[in-house]
Structure 1
Amino acid sequence: MSELSHVDETSGEVRMVDVGAKPESRRRAVARGRVRMATSTAERLRSLPKGDALTVARIAGIQAAKRTSELIPLCHPLPLSVVEVDLTVDAGGVAIEAAAETTARTGVEMEALTAVAVAALTVYDMAKAIDKEMRIDEVVLVSKTKAPV
């Protein structure tokens, strides 16, 4: 038996996992990431030439979570009940945390991770003109839970 759920055991071809027989459950996933930047850049994120980077990044992260199945080819489209994206500025940059929830047959970790990644890319895009040394790192899944409906 293959450890890779997206690989057909017989043919070795990639495939979308059949979750039709699985029971629905309440699922939640939390992911985190960071955009490292100069302190002077972090202090200016709400008043950049392109606008408020933190607000735009929050909206971009939420939108990205909702469109994850369009971005990641083998992800199932999910009816998300909530997506939260929080951005916290500190001396080293911006810490990003995203949580996604659904009641479905498959998990929402890809949606949480996608929200963090796109929020980070948005911060980067909005601040790149003033900080050429920024970097995105530490994008990780922190937790995922599943509870019966």
Structure 2
Amino acid sequence: MKTFLSKLKAVHSIVMTNTKDEILSENGLLRFAKMQKALPPVEHPLIRTHPETGKKCIYVNEAFTSHIIGLNRNESDSILNFIYKHLHNPDFQCRFIWEKNSIAFWDNRITQHFAVGDYNTKRTMHRLTIEGTKPN
């Protein structure tokens, strides 16, 4: 499986984040077209090499990965769904419990994150993004 996946590329697109209702809403098609022009789809390897550690990691995302290049839609969807199910395994998860003065860092190049809204206190968050390299 690793050898097979390492040879594949996928298309990533911001337009994947739009729902059908958003696109069909008033001015939705215009916003969609502007978004697609400003941020066109890009190709990335399914398996990338981390630039600092040299380790291999899976580089797909349910929100942005539309399909695998060179496979038909059913094959692409099946492989992507297999990967997503694998990534949802609790053995690969870290659950951060926020406390006063907590600070969390993660590397978006190798992390898939999911915010859980199971807190009822106010939090102040600041995000810092550092420019990186194109996935290879």
Whether TM exceeds 0.5 here: the answer is: no
User: With structure 2 as the length reference, what TM-score do the two structures score?
Assistant: 0.31
The TM-score, its normalising length taken from structure 1, stands at 0.29
RCO higher in 1 or 2 (8 Å CA, sep ≥ 6)?
Answer: 1
User: Which structure features the higher share of strand residues?
Assistant: 1
